[in-house]
Amino acid sequence: MQNNQDDDKNSGMKGLSFAYRISTELLAAIGVSVVIGLLIDKYFETKPFGLIILIILGFFAGLLNIYRLISRIEKN
């Protein structure tokens, strides 16, 4: 009985760890793109355009990282 509860707890923790990793991947990609977008806008004086373009690119980069992570986990 105790072993079954430990297995459920471990699988729940693995799922939670996976969810945190996915959210971290997406937030990191978007965060880096925001910082770079702001720096580009400041340097070239193109106020919203660099930020908007890099936020979109950062979002897609985050999705690509998540796809790679899921593919790697499914292989194992």
Dist. CA 61–CA 7, nearest whole Å: 34
Question: Tens of pLDDT along 9-27?
Answer: 777 888 899 899 999 999 9
Dist. CA 72–CA 12, nearest whole Å: 20
Question: Tens of pLDDT along 17-75?
Answer: 989 999 999 999 999 999 999 999 999 999 999 999 999 999 999 999 999 999 998 89
Give the model's confidence band at 1: pLDDT under 50 very low, under 70 low, under 90 confident, else very high. low
Amino acid at 63: L
